[in-house]
Amino acid sequence: MAFNEVHMLFQKWIDKRIEAYQSDLLQKYCDEVRSMYTKMRGWRHDYHNHIQALQASMALEKYDEVNAYLRQLNDDLTTVDTTIKTGRVMVDAILNGKINIATQHEIPVNAKARIPEGTPVADVDLCVIIGNLLDNAVEENKKLPQENRFIRVYIGQKNTQFYLVFTNAAGKRKGKHGSLFRSSKGTDHGFGLARVESVVKKYGGLFSADSEDGGFTAEILIPLTAE
């Protein structure tokens, strides 16, 4: 069999694996979004009960009780509130869902995100990018002592480019295989960065990743469309 034929067969196999991976990934995203909004609906359902309880305590001038109740409500609301607003609802749901998962694993996240006008990337593709990179970041952090964990996210505009940068704590520096990095979690996990690179290239953008002892950084630049 000629080299070109072997290459084409291998590429078809890769494409099928990526397609299956994306399908599973999107299903996981849907589950995460559904869970988050279920919590939000539950809190809203109890809203009137909370108001009535507060009014009753106020009528009896039990102000310490009111303050304690309000503190508890604030803590509960923090767990379901959409803390990051990018300008796209579906992306907000995924980004905040991933941040919530990181928080559950005691990983501090510093995130600033706003999708600029003229961003050509579809919501589904943005979710693939954000989801893959944050999944990888969470997995790397889970291997480390709590005091060493961190994730930093910036999504915005850099000159005439849509700019995304994800930085996270990591263990030892990873070796590269081609343009991407070897994964310690098996073949399927390794498709994550490949999928990100594929989506970025689809929009004529540039994807770069850098691994060093203690940290990992992924940067993306995608041209904005003219207004």
Q: What is the CATH number of the domain that holds 152?
A: 3.30.565.10
Q: Is residue 115 in a domain? A: yes
48 within a domain of the structure (yes/no): no
Which amino acid makes up residue 203? Y
Question: What pLDDT is stored for residue 186 in this prediction?
Answer: 46
pTM of the model: 0.67
3-state SS, 101-161, equals: HHHHCCCCEEEEECCCCCCCCCHHHHHHHHHHHHHHHHHHHHCCCHHHCCEEEEEEEECCE
The answer to which of 77-91, 135-149, 160-174 has the lowest mean pLDDT is 77-91
The answer to whether residue 189 sits within a structural domain is yes
pLDDT recorded at residue 206: 96
Question: Is 107 domain-assigned?
Answer: yes
Q: Which residue has the higher pLDDT, 189 or 149?
A: 149
- Give the span between the Cα atoms of 221 and 208, in whole angstroms: 9
List Cα–Cα distances, 83 to 80, 90, 95, 97, 113, in angstroms: 9, 14, 9, 10, 10
pLDDT tens for residues 99-138? 888 988 999 999 999 999 999 999 889 988 998 899 999 9
37 SS3 class: helix
- Mean of pLDDT values over 173-202: 68
Bigger pLDDT: 161 vs 194: 161
In a domain? residue 47: no
Residue 173: predicted pLDDT: 76
pLDDT of residue 169: 94
Parent domain of 179:
82-223
Q: What is the pLDDT of residue 28?
A: 63
Whether 85 has a pLDDT exceeding 60, the answer reads yes
Closest CA to 116 of 166, 152, 160, 82: 160
Q: pLDDT averaged over the chain?
A: 80
Number of domains in the chain: 1
Q: Is residue 97 part of a domain?
A: yes
Reading the block at residue 129, the tokens are: 């990018």
Q: Quick check: is 192 in a domain?
A: yes
Residue 104 domain flag: yes
Note whether 175 and 181 are within 8 A (CB). Answer: yes
